[in-house]
Structure 1
Amino acid sequence: MKLSSLISNGMVIQRNKPLTISGEADANQKIEVTFLEKKYTDVASASGKWSVTIDPTEPGGPYQLKIVGNKEIHIDDILIGDVWVLSGQSNMELPVIRTLDLFGNEMKAVNYPEIRQFSVPQIYNFHQPTETLIGGEWKKATPEDVLNFSAIGYFFAADIYREHNVPIGLIASAVGGTPIEAWMTEATLREFGEYDEILDQSKDDQYVKDTMAMEDKREQDWHQALNSNDQGMIEEWFNADTDTSDWQTFDVPNSWEGTELESIKGAVWFQKTIELAEDFTDHETMLNLGTLIDGDYAYINGKLVGHTGYKYPPRRYPVSKGILKPGKNTITVRIFTTESVGGFVQDMPYELVTDQETIPLTGAWKYKVGVITEALKPRTFFQYFPRGLYNGMIAPISNYPMSGVLWYQGESNVSKPNGYYELFEKLVDDWRQTWQIGDFPFLFVQLANLETGGDDNDSYWAKLRNEQLKSLQVKNTAMAVSIDVGEANDLHPQDKKSVGQRLAKCANALAYKQDVEYMGPLYQSHQVNNNTIEISFNHLGSGLIVRGEQLNGFVIAGSDNVFVHAEAKIENDRVIVSHPDVVEPKNVRYGWSDNPEQANLYNKEDLPASPFTTE
């Protein structure tokens, strides 16, 4: 008897919608399903396939579902409430455990057993949509499991649960680094005409297998050569008594850019000695090493306390008791760079922390190069290829009714922002066709702020955000703006609570039909009045406000299309934009930057305005 793994203990069923349960059994086997004292029957076909459809049900639980065929299966602890699908790339996938710098104390007290998450196994399929989901299980938002929930999903669900008091099921189907094309159907992608070659190539199983094997070996060989040739590993520079008298000095935190280390691919060792008081070692201790590029091994007094293989995760390494000691302690960090310019990312915490004290680790460290290698060529990430994840991770959950979708994606399409709106529109249509439950709410996150060093006048991030703004033309969609809750130095900002709560406002309006303001001000129209441009907005809520002393983030241009920082003020819930040197203004932009940190226009509901251009 084969069932989708979604149909399992702890499942949350969408209320007030029929649920079709299908599976495989012996040919011609009679199947009897019992749920809430109702019986549903079917007879398996010659190929063994069967299905029954359970009647729509009101919220409640826990219940049991029984399936009898050639054996009897009991599925226990079933709740009926609202189910939401979470999809996109890493900022949707990012787990609660990665947000503990901000929400650590709050998460210690979390105990919502009626909020549950099912994580879809990360599988791609280049041949056809997968029918039956294999792997994964339902987990509860309790201290044992909540740290592995999608952070956005959890904070969204907590708000919805408290507001509506019904069980919430989250189906997390997101994969870091993925472009939107990976989540679309092959038929739709072929309509665009530019994906045919890669769609055909990825159907060649031997090509995929050979490429993966070759790249696995290349990566293994690179790390093996790195480790075997690293003088620091050979001489054990991680030991506390290492002689660093001939090592150079490096000021932490800093990039290697502009230093002798800039071009190095390989391993560089850093060491710092600190003095600890007698009672410091009595407490639980965390070594915080910000974010390091690319990977690292961290040691204290010769003992390995943490290791991260790539550049994005924050380094938060618990230090076991007995490693630190009163007096002199040595911290050693071996950083290896595969393809990036290495460094200690700035404006991050570098410290030893207990519940009583914080010892800063910034300032002068000693360093020495362990080994210089060739750059490691990047992998071919087949999970990024068009239609693979739609087939592997969306199709097999599409017979499971739900309330709507939360979508956070776009970073991997920034390099080609123009036309993202058309892809998004087609994606939503694909999914609505696939689920066949109507135009369900599709709630998405506009990209957060990030400092990339790019040109504001040609900001690809701003262009992508503008494409996302256009995407609100798609029926029954809403957008959570996040330009004020990102981190300029981190692609994966920790404040997922604000994002989840903004998405919950969108859900309250679109799915739960509450009469609430659910988005910040959105550009509606503009009018040129002599030497000013007057901007009108939708989603004013109770009115426009400035967060701060004066309105910032606007630039203005005349017919020469040269944008300059503008003066802006709110009058009668419109924004009047001008500049003394632009006497015949033509266009205005707002928040038009990779990192629009100056943008501070909100409505009184404290929701930020979306970046826009009048062009």
Structure 2
Amino acid sequence: MKKGIYLLGLGVLLLLCMDLQAKVRLPHFFSSNMVLQRDMPIRVWGKADKNEVISVALNGSVQTAKTGKDGIWRVELPAMKAGGPYDMQIESAEETIGLTNILIGDVWVCSGQSNMEFGLNNVINAGQEIAASTLPDIRLLNVPKNMQSKEQFDLEPCEWTACNPQTSPLFTAVGYFFGKELQPEIGVPVGLIHTSWGGTDIETWTSWETAVKTNDTYKKYAGKDQEKAMGYSMDNIRLYKEALKKDKGLVQKWYVPAYKTKGWKTMAVPKVWEAELANEDGIVWFRKTIDLPAGVTGKKARINLGAVDDEDLTYVNGVKVGEMNFWMPNRSYEIPAGVLKGGNNVIAVRITDTGGLGGILGKAKEVYLEIDGQRYSLAGDWVYKPSVVTSMYKVSGISPNSFSSLLYNGMVHPLIGYGIKGVIWYQGENNAGRAYQYRTLFPAMINDWRQQWGYEFPFLWVQLANFMAVEDQPKDSDWAELREAQNMTLSLPKTGQAVITDIGEAFDIHPKNKQEVGKRLAKAALQVAYGQPVLGEGPVYKSMKVEGEKVILTFGNVGDGLTTSDRNRYGYVNGFSIAGADRKFVWAKAYIDGNKVVVFSEKVPNPVAVRYGWSNNPYDDNLVNSAGLLASPFRTDQWKGITEK
């Protein structure tokens, strides 16, 4: 009898396994609420059991395909005009998958590092912006972070969503404002695919195929599989990522006051945790108990933690009061009435660090509770315990920048074939120290993506903002050289950039005015991607002529003429420096003469070169065209820069 039951159970198990094999599986980005690219054939693909026949139906068109030995199937549906909503059915002999609320429009990929990752919840007037974010014709797809040493078939789990106050707060602010500005202008639905990771080099976003051909660092690996070239497997990374998802601190509720913290260690806060947790990334829990007077019971309050690196999940007396998935912005969360009480109150903060420094990093005065205008300091000793950290899985020191292509493999390659209108890109801060190399790396990546997709889509980017302390005298600048490399990349067809050297913040690498960034990108898109007769970029330097002690500069893309952003009636232009044959630059005077700028200095009677905005923080540059768009920093000389080796 037991044998019969065993055989029956085995048969059921085999049937279940066969059923699992036969299931049709779609990449996660094929989901309800998606936007499909208009005016081009629509490619849909997935996996199933081998020799399975799959049919895909959309708007009356049906296409079929048969899986090969690898179980992959692909179909191509006819191009469609903008519209919707539509439904899609994917069928095999045994099942049907239905996707609903699909729009046909323009799809834009939003990629880069932390300034692209910067969420809508961190911008100026974030509350108002989020409240006004119900935009039915805009759809959002957030691509999860994923390092991989091999090109992946699919993204980590994700799905398209409608744009509304529930889905917009953690979405890329630059992408959101770009879409919000663009969609009414073009009058069709817009899909935004956000795939970025803060603190990353451009190399990690470039395919291995291109890296070994164009990057001197990796040419020696030509013909080698990436994992063999790396010398280690990503298996431990996979186990580490799985552990992050199953954080035992959440499972065991380390945030509730009743949880005993016996054995936890002590750390002074605020402080980077590297002294106690050297080279560790991952999840660390912090707790602090604070004694409050009886009068606070039942009152609303606010907790402020200052800057956190990278992500936090914050609880007060077991109640979640806030979270942020972005590094460094100030954390300030409202504590609802009824949470605090007289006596002991327990604050728990779950911090996730994805690389580099980690912890609560602000100033001591920024870490406090505020109740009825009175502040109670939270600075000082907290107890802490690692939940999941890299040393547990022997992956310490492995980051997206450890090797080329790690993020391309996991966060870009799966999307290849999904129709897109174009890409917006915000990256370069991490490569500033190698700006001369960026002249090659940046266009190589753009060409790489275009080659992978199979067509020359528009590619737009944000030039580095002004940042760091203002210099008293002209000097060399790696950030200026990176901006120059970005300018040079405009030689590629169908490219454009948004110049934002007027809206950065001297002491914050993440300027909060992402509204203007999105607007300027949208203007560039209207010109580059849609061919509209608009000025999408600022004045572009064309040529120089020396007349005595003056240098005469000519510009293109001026529209109805050059002017200054402050509209000063004297026509004086800020930001110029000038040098003679000795190559020693001094600040220069400059004024507008028609569509030209005249630059001079009594200190340089025989000028040979001028520079404009050539510094880390050219905050007061003011040369604009009739559309009010800034001229990009530039130089007329070709003298060796500080990043040229």
- Shorter-chain TM-score above 0.5: yes
Distance 1:290 1:191 in 2: 44
Deviations 1:399-431 (A, max 9, x none): 111111111111111121112121111111111
Distance 1:209 1:42 in 2: 33
Match of 1:249 in 2: none
One-letter code of the match for 1:379? G
Q: CA deviation at 1:452?
A: 6.1
The match for 1:460 among 478, 488, 510 is 478
Output aligned runs, 1:553-592, within 5 Å: 553-592=575-614
Distance 1:573 1:148 in 2: 43
Match of 2:487 in 1: 469
Does the alignment pair 1:505 with 2:527?
no
One-letter code of the match for 2:307? T
Distance 1:10 1:210 in 2: 33
Paired positions, count: 568
Match of 1:147 in 2: 169
Distance 1:123 1:29 in 2: 30
Structure 2 residue runs of 5 or longer lacking an equivalent are 1-23, 248-260, 278-285, 385-390, 638-645
Deviations 1:268-288 (A, max 9, x none): x9x9x9x99x999966x5445
CA pair 9-335 structure 1, distance change in 2 beyond 3 A = closer
Distance 1:81 1:597 in 2: 38
Match of 1:451 in 2: 468
Deviations 1:558-611 (A, max 9, x none): 111111111111111221111111111121111111111121222231211111
Output aligned runs, 1:244-283, within 5 Å: 265=275
Match of 1:147, SS?
Answer: coil
Match of 2:106 in 1: 82
One-letter code of the match for 2:600? S
The match for 1:486 among 504, 519, 540 is 504
Match of 2:408 in 1: 390
Contact 1:124 1:383 survives alignment (8 Å): no
Distance 1:73 1:125 in 2: 29
Distance 2:30 2:105 in 1: 15
The match for 1:16 among 39, 42, 49 is 39
Deviations 1:458-507 (A, max 9, x none): 21111101110111111110010111122221122211111111111111
Match of 2:10 in 1: none
Deviations 1:27-71 (A, max 9, x none): 332222221112222233344332221101111111111122131
Match of 1:207 in 2: 232
Distance 2:529 2:72 in 1: 34
Match of 1:407 in 2: 425
Contact 1:352 1:358 survives alignment (8 Å): no
Distance 1:358 1:76 in 2: 50
Deviations 1:86-131 (A, max 9, x none): 11112112221222x433213212211221111223223323x323
Output aligned runs, 1:359-378, within 5 Å: none
Q: CA RMSD in A?
A: 4.5
Contact 2:201 2:401 survives alignment (8 Å): no
Match of 1:146, SS?
Answer: coil
Match of 1:379 in 2: 397
TM-score by length of 2: 0.76
Q: CA deviation at 1:144?
A: 1.3
CA pair 576-182 structure 1, distance change in 2 beyond 3 A = same
Match of 1:313 in 2: 329
Distance 2:333 2:557 in 1: 44
CA pair 336-359 structure 1, distance change in 2 beyond 3 A = farther
The match for 1:419 among 422, 437, 451 is 437
Q: CA deviation at 1:319?
A: 2.3
The match for 2:30 among 7, 16, 19 is 7
Match of 1:458, SS?
Answer: coil
Contact 1:110 1:143 survives alignment (8 Å): yes
The match for 1:177 among 189, 195, 199 is 199
Match of 2:71 in 1: 48
Distance 1:379 1:394 in 2: 23
Match of 1:440, SS?
Answer: coil
Match of 2:169, SS?
Answer: helix
Structure 1 residue runs of 5 or longer lacking an equivalent are 221-225, 239-255
Contact 2:470 2:618 survives alignment (8 Å): no
